Amino acid sequence: MPTLLLGAAAVPYGTVLYTLVVFLILLALLRKYAFGPLMGIMKERENHISSEIDAAEKNNAETKKLVEEQREMLKQSRVEAQELIERAKKQAEDQKESIVAAAKEEAVSIKESAVQEIQREKEHAIAALQEQVASLSVQIASKVMQKELKEEDQVQLIRDYIKEVGEAR
């Protein structure tokens, strides 16, 4: 029987041929029943991982887009807030100016009213003084006529009445 020399041992061809046929049959069976489904599972796993990576990249892109939109909205909000502050400052300044103008007008009005009141009181005092002087003049004239005094006596009498008027005030 022919043999095959492998290393130091001799193996008959039939055994080698038989082992080779069994190995090929086992390989065919493994390919059909084990490697096929295993490769299918591996392909399915590869597709699943690929779709997960695509989904993650898509989510990452959407997240970046949303972050950018949020930043833009934040910038816009800051601009609007600044505009509101500026408008409020301007309104406050306008209100301040109108209050100051109204206060000045009121002060002028009060001053004019006070000046008019002082003028009326002055005129009233002058009229009262004129009345007293007229009354005193009439009294002096009547006393002068009654006494028919000399000129020095009349001067003295007028001085006395003027003194009385000064003390009465």
pLDDT tens digits for range 52-108: 999 999 999 999 999 999 999 999 999 999 999 999 999 999 999 999 999 999 999
- Percent of the chain topping pLDDT 70: 85
Q: Are 10 and 3 in contact (CB under 8 A)?
A: yes
Where in 16-138 does DSSP place strands (E)? none
**CA 93, 99, 102, 108: dihedral to nearest 10 degrees?**
-100
Domain ranges (residues) in the chain: 3-168
Supply 63's token pair: 């997240």
Residue 41 binned pLDDT confidence (cut-offs 50, 70, 90): confident
**Looking at residue 169, what is its pLDDT?**
56
- 86 compared with 163, residue with greater pLDDT: 86
The pTM of this model reads 0.41
In this predicted structure, the answer to whether residue 143 has a pLDDT above a threshold of 90 is: no
Q: Are 12 and 4 in contact (CB under 8 A)?
A: yes
Residue 48 binned pLDDT confidence (cut-offs 50, 70, 90): very high
Mean pLDDT of 28-40: 82
Where in the chain does DSSP place strands (E)? 3-6, 9-12
> What distance, in Å, lies between the first and last C-alpha atoms of the chain?
171
